[in-house]
Amino acid sequence: MEIRSNTELPSVREDIELQTEDGQTLVGELATPVSGSPTCTLITLHPLPTHGGFMDSHLLRKAANRLPHMIGAAVLRFNTRGTESPRGKSTGDFDGGSAERHDVAAAVKFVKQRNLPKPWLVGWSFGTELAIKYGPDHDIAGAILLSPPLHRATSEDLMRWNEFARPLIALVPELDEFLAPAEAAQKFAVVPAAHVLAFDGEKHLWVGEGATRRVLNQIAETVRPGSSPLPTEA
């Protein structure tokens, strides 16, 4: 069977809630391998909720549908404050990336409490801003940035990663209307160890199964070297 957009491979799926330090309850889901302990953990951070981003945004949903089975990853998805999806609505209100620091902290705390290994932040668009700004506050393995716009994250935020010294990998679509590869390379240059990877022909939303496979292959290879290319049939 060919793996397609809506393919859901076997995993253990658990509805979870995250409690933030400022009293909000965030709804989410944890997907883990059916057998064996997870090899790594992906803490996903969704695109801008005021423009339709939520925990089910397609790349994050497909990561949860495939990567627990394919590479043994635990995949945590959740709605940031004030964000709603079929799973439910998180309490609180969207705060433009400021109070959302508590949301990131709650997700990392949950992963630590569950003893899940090697937590990576995987942000998409707005989610990359949260990963850049607040990643260095936590004991994480690194961050993977999908379509980083760098609207809210500043050069000062990026430079914190020099002292943090954890991997920072940016996947930048060639045709991204917010930040194309050439400009991204210039802005990320303040972090010499950062990797900016350009993806020819792709756009900000990574539409289509081909784009999805390119993203998931890069995520897999980053968090579990040697695991790509991922299978295209199940």
* Residue 59, pLDDT score: 98
* Residue 9, pLDDT score: 98
The span from the CA of 32 to the CA of 48, in Å, is 26
Q: What is the mean pLDDT of residues 78-101?
A: 98
Quote the mean pLDDT of the chain.
Answer: 98
* Residue 78, pLDDT score: 99
* Residue 130, pLDDT score: 98
pLDDT category, 186, cuts 50, 70, 90?
Answer: very high
Using alpha carbons only, what angle is made at residue 210 by residues 167 and 9, rounded to the nearest 5 degrees? 80
DSSP H or E run through 199? strand 195-199
pLDDT category, 34, cuts 50, 70, 90?
Answer: very high
Helices (H), the chain: 58-71, 100-113, 126-134, 155-164, 181-188, 209-223
Predicted TM-score (pTM) of the model is 0.98
**What is the dotted CATH code of the domain comprising 12-223?**
3.40.50.1820
pLDDT category, 95, cuts 50, 70, 90?
Answer: very high
Domain ranges of the chain: 12-223
* Residue 65, pLDDT score: 98
